[in-house]
A = this chain, B = another copy of it.
Amino acid sequence: MAKISASIITIGDELLIGQVVDTNSAWMAQELNKTGIWVKRRVAVGDDWNSIWQALDEESRESQVILITGGLGPTADDITKDLLCKYFDGKLVVDEAALANVRHIFERILKRPMIERNLKQAEVPDVCTVIQNKRGTAPGMWFEKNEKIFVSMPGVPYEMKGMMEEVIGRLATRFVLPYIAHRTLLTAGVGESFLAEHILEYENALPENVRLAYLPNYGMVRLRLTATGNEKDATDSLLEEKFNELKQMVSEWIVADTDIPIGQAVGNLLKKTGKTVSTAESCTGGYIAHLITSIQGSSNYFKGSIVSYSNETKVNLLHVNETTLATIGAVSEETVRQMIQGALIVLRTDLAVATSGIMGPDGGSEDKPVGTVWIAVGDRSKIVSRKFYFRFNRERNIELTATNALNMLRQFIAGT
Contact = CB atoms under 8 A, between A and B. Distances in A.
Number of copies: 2
B313 A303 contact: yes
Interface stretch (A304-312, A321-329, A408-416): A304-312
A238 interface: no
A285 B296 contact: no
Contact of A51 (B40, B296, B316): B40
A365 to B, nearest CB: 15
Interface of A: 13-23, 25-31, 33, 38-46, 51, 55, 58, 73-77, 109-110, 112, 115, 117-118, 156, 158, 182, 184, 191-194, 196-197, 203, 211-217, 222, 224, 226, 259, 279, 281, 284-290, 292-294, 296-299, 302-310, 312-313, 316-317, 346-348, 360-362, 391-396, 398
Given A20-B217, A58-B58, A286-B286, 4 more contacts: A74-B193, A286-B307, A303-B309, A303-B310
B396 A115 contact: no
A65 B369 CA distance: 38
Nearest to A347: B313
Contact of A305 (B17, B306, B362, B398): B306
Contact of A75 (B26, B196, B293): B196
B41 A18 contact: no
B16 A214 contact: no
Contacts of A18: 25-31, 33, 39
A62 B393 CA distance: 34
